[in-house]
């Protein structure tokens, strides 16, 4: 089965104005029989959140490579949890964990199976390519107060980690940080935006070069319209099978 994918992270206006780098990160790994994609959003209040996000996205994606043929088995969930714990241990040696706060959302997709995992805010959305009114969504989980969420660096991270297996019919996936979600999806209830996700999917499907898809997504995230909607960093990943 052929897999298509692409992704990009764009620095938000608030960080550009302060001369700061993007604190979002994503990582995509393609295997012979599947694709693993992760999006991580580093907390703006954490000093080293960009490193935390980048390390987490890489470690989780790489850890699930060996599980691509058994995504519905307990071993896949254990590999995911171990990758998160290993990342925490690596970062503990570099400083207080609260300096590396980051969320996580991702999928591991094979021909017949799909594992969805999510911790904190951001959105994971899977669509039936034959019927865009048929979709599944993992919604953001926010904390007790406004503008708060959960991070893999918190002691109770396992209680906040959401993992589920998605039905095979959902073969088109969008992963996004909360910055991108502010204009890419609708809320109350969470659902795809036909005037954004549908044309993005259609355009990306026609591009056969991964770099061209990445650039197309980046250009969209860096557009003046996106900047008007949110000053936050923005990450969007698309996977299609």
What is the C-alpha to C-alpha distance for residues 43 and 187, in angstroms, rounded to an integer?
A: 22
Chain segment 134-151, per-residue pLDDT in tens: 999 999 997 554 557 999
The closest of 192, 194, 201, 241 to 220, measured between CA atoms, is 201
52 within 8 A of 101, measured Cβ to Cβ: yes
Q: What residues does 185 pair with on adjacent strands? A: 192
Taking the model in full, what pTM does it have?
0.96
* Rounded mean pLDDT, 211-237: 96
Chain segment 199-223, per-residue pLDDT in tens: 999 999 999 999 999 999 999 999 9
Task: Map out the domains of the chain as residue ranges.
Answer: 4-240
- HSE-CB at 46 with a 13 A cutoff on CA atoms is 27
The closest of 54, 37, 188 to 110, measured between CA atoms, is 37
Q: Assign a CATH topology to domain 4-240.
A: Phosphatase 2c; domain 1 (3.60.40)
CA distances, 152 to each of 89, 98, 127, 158, 214 (Å)? 11, 10, 27, 8, 27
What is the C-alpha to C-alpha distance for residues 149 and 141, in angstroms, rounded to an integer?
A: 6
* Cα dihedral: 156, 160, 163, 169 (round 10): -170
Neighbours of 231 (CB within 10 A): 14
Confidence of residue 193 (pLDDT cuts 50, 70, 90): confident
């Amino acid at each position: 089965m052929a897999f298509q994918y692409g992704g990009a992270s764009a620095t938000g206006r608030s960080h550009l104005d302060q001369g700061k780098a993007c604190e979002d990160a994503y990582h995509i790994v393609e295997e012979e029989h599947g694709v693993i994609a992760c999006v991580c959003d580093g907390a703006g209040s954490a000093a080293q959140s960009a490193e935390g996000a980048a390390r987490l996205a890489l470690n989780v994606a790489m850890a699930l490579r060996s599980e691509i043929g058994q995504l519905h088995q307990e071993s896949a969930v254990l590999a995911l949890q171990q990758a998160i714990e290993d990342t925490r241990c690596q970062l503990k040696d570099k400083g207080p964990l609260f300096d590396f706060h980051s969320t996580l959302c991702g999928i591991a997709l094979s021909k017949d199976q799909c594992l969805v995992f999510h911790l904190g805010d951001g959105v994971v959305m899977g669509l039936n390519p034959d019927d865009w009114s048929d979709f599944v969504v993992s919604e953001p989980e926010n904390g007790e107060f406004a503008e708060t969420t959960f991070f893999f660096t918190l002691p109770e991270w396992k209680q906040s980690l959401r993992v589920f297996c998605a039905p095979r019919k959902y073969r088109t996936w969008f992963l996004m940080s909360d910055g991108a979600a502010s204009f890419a999806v609708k809320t109350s209830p969470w659902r795809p935006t036909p005037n954004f996700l549908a044309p993005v999917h259609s355009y990306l499907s026609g591009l056969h070069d991964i770099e061209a898809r990445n650039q197309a997504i980046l250009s969209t995230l860096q557009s003046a319209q996106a900047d008007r909607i949110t000053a936050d960093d923005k990450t969007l990943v698309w996977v299609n099978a």
